[in-house]
Amino acid sequence: MPEIIDRKMAIALGMKRYFTGKPCCRGHVAERIVSSSFCLDCDRENRALHRVSQREYQRRWYLANAEKIKERSVSRIEYQRRWYLANAEKIKELSHTRYLNNPQKHAERDRRWRQNNPEKNKALRRKANLKRYLKVKIALKTLETLGVKL
Ligand SMILES: [Zn+2]
């Protein structure tokens, strides 16, 4: 148990806590805080209570406003979507300019991506090759139907 000292003495000594040895209004025998004269146990209880009520308050507020919150987040997504559509050309242009301004950096990034995603890269290459192959095949077919002999 700490030394018994009253609040006045604690203030005079510049202490933050004091101990009377007497139970508080809730029956705790504990050190008290000079500034509030709460005992430490009461203070702890108050704080816990406050935390719970704060959380409860937030929960109720959220439930009461769930619709509004949902609406707001939907409209934000919708807003972003519209903004993107309205600015698609500008965005494309910008990213292209950025690419042209620093092709080395982008080439480096692409190279690193290929290194980190060899499987994806292989699939992409296969797709590109197939596309090229089909293009050539279609071109040959067109020439054939046109009666052009190679
Ligand atoms: Zn108390």
Residue 136 CB contacts under 8 Å (≥ 6 apart), including other chains: none
**Residue 142 corresponds to which amino acid?**
T
Out of 27-36, 40-49, 94-103, least confident range: 94-103
Report pLDDT for 95.
Answer: 86
Same domain, 47 and 11: yes
The CA 18 to ligand 1 mean position distance, Å, reads 13
Q: Is residue 142 part of a domain?
A: no
Structural domain span for residue 25: 7-57
The pLDDT score that the predictor gives to residue 7 is: 94
Answer yes or no: do 72 and 117 share one domain. yes
The string of pLDDT tens digits covering residues 116-138 is 999 999 999 999 999 999 999 88
Query: Ligand 1 centroid to 49 CA: how many Å?
Result: 14
- Structurally, how many domains does the chain consist of? 2
CA of 96 to the centre of ligand 1 (A): 68
- Are 79 and 33 within one domain? no
Distance 57 CA to ligand 1 centre (A): 25
Nearest-5° Cα angle at 68, 65 to 74: 140
Is 1 a residue whose pLDDT tops 80? no
* Band of residue 14 on the pLDDT scale cut at 50, 70, 90: very high
CA 70 to chain centre: 18
Residue 85 and residue 121 in one domain = yes
Q: What's the CA-to-centroid distance between 30 and ligand 1, angstroms?
A: 7
Percent of the chain whose pLDDT exceeds 90: 47
| Residue 33 included in any domain | yes
Distance 142 CA to ligand 1 centre (A): 93
Residue 137 placed within a domain: no
What is the secondary structure of 108-123 as a DSSP string?
Answer: HHHHHHHHH-HHHHHH
Say how far apart CA 132 and CA 143 lie, in whole Å: 17
d(CA 52, CA 24): 23
With 80 as the cut, is the pLDDT of residue 150 above it?
Answer: no
Is residue 52 located within the same domain as residue 68?
no
For residues 73 and 47, state if they share a domain.
no
CA 48, chain centre distance (Å): 28
- H/E run at residue 33: strand 32-33
How far is residue 16's CA from residue 10's CA, in Å, rounded to a whole number? 7
Question: Over 80: is that where the pLDDT of 111 sits?
Answer: yes
Token couple for 70: 């949902």
**Residue 140 domain-assigned (yes or no):** no
State the pLDDT at residue 42: 94
56-87 pLDDT, tens digit each: 888 999 899 888 888 888 888 888 899 989 99
* Angle subtended at Cα 96 by Cα 93 and Cα 102, rounded to the nearest 5 degrees: 140
Residue at 97 is within a domain: yes
Residues 118 and 70 occupy one common structural domain: yes
pLDDT at position 99 over 90 = no
CA 19 – CA 111 distance, rounded (Å) = 70
Q: If you measure from the C-alpha of residue 39 to the centroid of ligand 1, how many angstroms do you get, rounded to a whole number?
A: 5
pLDDT at 112: 93
Domain identity same for 68 and 121: yes
